Amino acid sequence: MKVSHYSFIAAGVFLLALPLNGATAAEIRVGYTQDASTLDPANHRSRISEGIIRNMYDGILARDDQMLVWPELAESFEQLDEVTYEVKLREGVLFHDGTEMTAEDVKFTFDRLTKEGAMGGETSPRQSLLGPLEETSIIDAYTLRFKLANAWPVFPRMLPFQEVVSKAFVEKVGTEGLATQVNGNGPFKLVEWRQGDSIIMERFDDYYGGAEGIAPVQAAQVDRVIFKIIPESASRVAALLAGEVDLINELPVHAMARVENNPGTKVLKTLGTRSFFILLNNTQPPFDDVRVRKAANHAVDRQIIIDRILNGLAVPINGILSPQSFGYNPDLPVYSHDPEKARQLLAEAGYPDGVDVVLDAETEFKDLAEAIAASMNSSGFRAKVRLWERNALRAHWDPKKPKEREMYFSSWGSGALDPAGIFMPVLRSDARGNRSGYSNAEVDRLLDGANAEPDQDVRSQMYQDAQVIVNDEAPLIFLWLPQDIYGANSRLQGWMPSGRGIIKLHDAYLE
Amino acid sequence: MQLRTLIERILQLIPVLLGISIIVFAMITLTPGDPVEIMLGDQISTPEQEAALRRDMGLDLPVHERFFRFLSNALVGDFGNSFFHRRPVSDLILERLPATIELTLVAMLIAIGTAVPLGVVAAVKKGTLIDRIATVASIFGVSLPGFWFGLLLIMLFAVHWHILPVAGRIGYDFEVPKVTYLLLIDTILAGRLDSFLDALGHLILPAVTLGLPMGAILMRVTRTSMLEVLDQDYIAFAAAKGLGRMRILIRHALTNALIPTVTVAALETGSLLGGNMIVETIFGWPGLGRLVVEAIFSRNYPIIQTAVLLYAVTYVLLNFAADIVYTLLNPRVKL
């Protein structure tokens, strides 16, 4: 009792001696939309959590700002045959407790991710992100092999989503303990997690420096990083303007001007990875007729909506893939805004007097949905918007159930930038995210083939061919791919937003 | 008050909680939305993964089995695991509860502390400028949306004048030893005036935002009942006896006038729990309200069920507390 009392006084004196002014301490504060659901890298499905965790844990592979994949904890990563990949680990990578990371830890990590019931009886929610990964075997202390049950060429693009944990530590604290405690190998150590309030981290001095290919290779540049949870956008912007935080995610478009005009803050943006489109119910009139679907694509004036509502911060797309995606086809025909053509197509389809449709949208997209409906209404459609709570709406558009609704302003994110993560689930017959009921045997054949095709050139061509068919059959109204927008302290350097959607502050500092 | 009454009251909780469990369970089951789908999101998945998650969440069982499992586990204090945090719900709620309690208590203090004196003054000075100002202020207080008012306070005090922080519960330059988990008390126990002031600075805007509508209502109730009481014969009699003005107002009038105020305060405290959800979101306050809102949007059933039960118990206990206060204010009332 006595000891702790004195040590507390000592700590108090010590703390008082530290500069209390945030401006002089080397510290970066992030105003972040949501708290991590867990700090266990294997026990979530949330990019929000991953963004926080990634500051404390590294992965075998990582992506740079340009979305290129590099070895991170690995020294090299090599494909031996269609189903086997070999990793050589860096030597001398330390966990925060000072122990060295070896192949044992990596095998333990991937077994924990992929084996049924490997997390205290439960199965990792991230299991399927590793596809058919069957066995991780140790060759020597720094070499491992991943063996897949069948060829899955997207595997290297999925590895940056996983982080490596310490076997000894997990065995000590258990899956329960790993939810709130961290012994990672990343640039920052956990100091304190104030649930719902903030996550405080400090520099890990013995950090190996991060991916060799992503310069600069060095320990973290600041002493401390704090993720402060501010869910309300207006408050997050206020915190940035007040200088309480140095960086915020999800800066709303309407607040951009304020942040830009405010001395001391700036706006950062990057092309995101979420494609927006309108799902059309391909199983029922009127959208079971391809002419009506094409008419709808000609009806919407995408450019004016992008310019007026999205502040110009989106690129129009003519399919479902991001221009940055693997297998993107840059030569797809464009559905120009053409009300005349739309009316004519509608008349051909048997709707010379126009057609009534209802556009479902989630409440947060009210403005965009109304603009789209207005646009359609000058082109022969009579569209009404109906607003819903997100998950209630999704239940109406359950891919596994018969579809009774008509249009849904929707989107799909694909952080892997590979068609396997977006084209396949949204447009293959009966796929998990195929809410439009679209089904085309040739597209299915191409998607299935590409999913297992080891030759990346052949694979890319298959996706490009499939995009041509989808573009022509227009199962969706193709819309746009928005930029991700961040607000930052003007002095913030060493961090650029990227499509990864992750704020890793390893190289960041304040000028 | 007798022990018998206390036991009766506690026994009354049982049907209330059972009824609420049934209602919540029914509502959850009827609300569209699938937690497994929500968790998997847009990422690559397989039917096997979906099945594994469904099993881990216990959603593979039929509704009635899930209900009885929840009930029987809850009886022994096990409220299950949160779907998304994948940790015990009781841990999550206990982590967030102190922040909500602290915020609610301070909001109540602010509300009662301003409403009762203002209400009395408005009643005594009926028809004067003070009365009118108080009345207008209370109309504003009731009708201002908390969401808008909170953001206005942030813009003024944090962005413009830089005197109070936007969000959070306490700064990062000191660690507060956890004793009561209420930071205002813990900082004092630790003898850290600077931390106390920092915590108070973080608390003041959310507490004012939360307490404002309650204060406005209480002010009007106090004013009305005070006016009624002041009209009574016994007040005139007391004055005729030659008692001092202050003594009449406080001893004779206010104690009686407070009875409706206490009832309304107890009911309003219940609604503070709802107001918390908005205020906690605006001010990034790490309380239970926000956890529950997130749980509702993500269909995190175990958290919703448990939190609603907790709210119900709180509500019942608040009403019970109000009853006890009646007996203290008015000896004629017996429980």
Please determine, for residue A286, whether its predicted confidence score (pLDDT) is greater than 70: yes
Does residue B237 or residue A2 have the better pLDDT? B237
pLDDT at B220: 94
* A333 or A2: which leads in pLDDT: A333
Q: Does A435 touch chain B (CB under 8 A)?
A: no
Which comes out higher in pLDDT, residue A2 or A181? A181
Mean pLDDT, range B167-181, rounded to an integer: 89
Phi, psi for A382 (deg, rounded to 5) = -120, 90
- Burial (CB < 10 A; 0-12, 13-18, 19+), residue A437, is buried
* pLDDT of residue A390 exceeding 50: yes
- Res. A9 pLDDT band, cuts 50 70 90: very low
Above 70 in pLDDT, residue A84? yes
Chain A (457-496) residues lying within 8 Å, Cβ to Cβ, of chain B = none
- Of residues B74 and B326, more confidence is placed in B74
User: Is the torsion defined by CA of B184, B190, B192, B195 positive or negative?
Assistant: negative
C-alpha distances (whole Å) from B184 to each of B7, B174, B205 are 34, 14, 15
Is the pLDDT assigned to residue A14 strictly greater than 60? no
Note whether A239 contacts B290, CB cutoff 8 Å. Answer: no
Contacts of B172 in chain A (CB under 8 A): 198, 200, 224, 226
What whole-number percentage of chain A has pLDDT above 70?
A: 95
The pTM for the full model equals 0.92
Mutate to test the interface with B, among A27, A37, A404, A417 (most CBs of B within 10 A): A37
What is the model's pLDDT at position A25? Answer: 53
The pLDDT of residue A23 is above 70: no
Q: List, for residues A218-248, the tens digit of each pLDDT value.
A: 999 999 999 999 999 999 999 999 999 999 9
**pLDDT given at position B1:** 56
Test B44 with A37 for CB contact under 8 angstroms: no
Count helices and strands in chain A by DSSP H and E runs? 15, 20
B270 pLDDT band (50/70/90 cuts)?
confident
Which residues on chain A are in Cβ contact (under 8 Å) with B202?
none
Question: How many CB atoms within 10 Å of residue B234?
Answer: 12
Kindly indicate the confidence band of residue B242, based on its pLDDT and cuts at 50, 70 and 90.
Answer: confident
Interface of B with A in 166-225 (CB under 8 A): 166-169, 172-175, 177, 190, 192
CA distance B284 to B278: 10
Give tens-digit pLDDT for B104-163.
999 999 999 999 999 999 999 999 999 999 999 999 998 988 899 999 999 999 999 999
Per-residue pLDDT of A421-446, as tens digits, reads: 999 999 999 999 999 999 999 999 99
A111-130 pLDDT per residue, tens: 999 999 999 899 999 999 99
pLDDT at res. A460: 97
Nearest CA in chain A to B167: A230
CB contacts, 8 Å: A413 with chain B: 41-42
pLDDT tens readout for residues A344-376: 999 999 999 999 999 999 999 999 999 999 999
- Please check whether residue B1 is in contact with residue B10, taking contact to mean a CB–CB distance below 8 angstroms: no
What value does the mean pLDDT of chain B take? Answer: 91
Categorize the per-residue pLDDT at A3 as very low, low, confident or very high, splitting at 50, 70 and 90.
very low
Measure CA of the first residue to CA of the last residue in chain A; give whole Å. Answer: 44
> Would you tell me the crossing angle of helices B3-30 and B63-75 to the nearest 10 degrees?
150
**Is A6 in the B-facing interface, judged by CB distances under 8 Å?**
no
A182-196, B218-232, B250-264: least confident range: B250-264
Q: Is the pLDDT of residue B13 over 50?
A: yes
Q: How confident is the model at residue A407 (pLDDT cuts 50, 70, 90)?
A: very high
**Count of CB atoms situated within 10 Å of the CB of B303:** 27
All domains of chain B in start order, with CATH: 89-224+261-297 (1.10.3720)
Per-residue confidence (pLDDT) for residue A102, from 0 to 100: 97
- pLDDT band with cut points at 50, 70 and 90 for residue A19: very low
Residue A11 has pLDDT above 70, yes or no: no
A478 with A7: CB under 8 angstroms? no
State how far the Cα of B136 lies from the Cα of B232, in Å rounded to an integer.
27
Q: What is the pLDDT of residue B188?
A: 94
pLDDT band at B335 (very low <50, low <70, confident <90, very high): low
CA distance A447 to chain B (A): 14
- Closest chain B residue to A18, measured at CA: B173
Largest CA distance in chain A: 89
Which residues in chain B have their CB less than 8 angstroms from residue A158's CB?
A: 44
Contact of B4 with chain A, judged by CB distance below 8 Å, is answered with no
Band (A24; pLDDT cuts 50, 70, 90): very low
pLDDT band at A15; cut points 50, 70, 90: very low
User: Which pLDDT does position B327 carry in this prediction?
Assistant: 82
Using a CB–CB cutoff of 8 Å, tell me whether B13 touches chain A. Answer: no
Q: Is B95 on the interface with A (CB under 8 A)?
A: yes
pLDDT digits (tens, 9 = 90+) for B294-305: 999 999 999 999
Inspect the interface and report whether the beta carbons of A432 and B45 lie closer than 8 Å. yes
A449-496, pLDDT tens digit by residue? 999 999 999 999 999 999 999 999 999 999 999 999 999 999 999 999
Residue A331 has pLDDT above 80, yes or no: yes
What is the C-alpha to C-alpha distance for residues A290 and A296, in angstroms, rounded to an integer? 10
Q: Give yes or no for a contact between A73 and A90, defined as CB atoms under 8 angstroms apart.
A: yes
Interface test with B, best of A45, A157, A360 (most B CBs within 10 A): A45
Q: What is the pLDDT of residues A99-109, one digit of tens each?
A: 999 999 999 99
